[in-house]
């Protein structure tokens, strides 16, 4: 049973380096219209997951570094704040989940045809 569940999501993670590089290049020029044409037949969830994970890591690292410098500047004792991790996870994964879900609901409500 589990094999079929994993197999159902396999097409959404079937990308290689050339696909990722091409999609990054296309993201710099979103108004050309070719991005959606190229990704309609082969959408992926892989980029969304790793981009969010990378942004979480960067946000936590920079936030931790800034608080460390602020404590050093004021000569106070510094302690790591784990809330930065949970806040970043909630913010980034929440944004990637809630915004598309709301857009999907709005598009369905107005009967606008849309692909994945």
Angle between helices 46-73 and 83-109 (to 10 degrees): 140
Q: Mark whether 35 and 66 lie in a shared domain.
A: no
Q: What global pTM score does this model have?
A: 0.66
Q: Mark whether 55 and 109 lie in a shared domain.
A: yes
What does the DSSP 8-state code read for residue 45?
A: S
Query: Which pLDDT belongs to residue 114?
Result: 73
pLDDT digits (tens, 9 = 90+) for 38-71: 777 777 777 788 889 999 999 999 999 999 999 9
What is the domain extent for residue 85? Answer: 46-116
Q: Mark whether 58 and 40 lie in a shared domain.
A: no
| Section 73-78 average pLDDT | 89
Distance, C-alpha 64 to centroid of its chain: 21
99 has pLDDT over 80: yes
Query: Which pLDDT belongs to residue 37?
Result: 74
| Number of domains composing the chain | 2
Interatomic CA distance for residues 91 and 87, integer angstroms:
6
Asked whether the CA dihedral 61, 62, 63, 65 is positive or negative, the reply is positive
Higher pLDDT pick, 6 / 102: 102
Q: Mark whether 59 and 7 lie in a shared domain.
A: no
Q: Mark whether 97 and 40 lie in a shared domain.
A: no
17 has pLDDT over 50: yes
Query: Which pLDDT belongs to residue 115?
Result: 65
Q: Mark whether 14 and 29 lie in a shared domain.
A: yes
Q: Mark whether 4 and 36 lie in a shared domain.
A: yes
Q: How far is CA 89 from CA 51, 98, 99, in A?
A: 12, 13, 15
Q: Mark whether 58 and 111 lie in a shared domain.
A: yes
Contact assessment for residue 35 and residue 25, using Cβ atoms and an 8 Å cutoff = no
């Amino acid at each position: 049973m589990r094999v079929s569940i994993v197999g159902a999501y396999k097409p959404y993670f079937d990308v290689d380096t050339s696909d990722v590089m091409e999609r990054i290049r296309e993201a710099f020029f979103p108004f050309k219209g070719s991005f959606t044409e190229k990704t309609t037949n082969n959408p992926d969830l892989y980029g969304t997951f790793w981009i969010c994970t990378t942004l979480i890591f960067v946000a936590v690292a920079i936030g931790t570094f800034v608080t460390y410098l602020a404590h050093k500047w004021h000569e106070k004792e510094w302690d790591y704040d784990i809330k930065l991790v949970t806040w970043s996870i909630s913010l980034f994964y929440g944004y990637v989940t809630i915004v598309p879900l709301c857009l999907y609901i709005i598009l369905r409500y107005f009967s606008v045809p849309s692909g994945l």
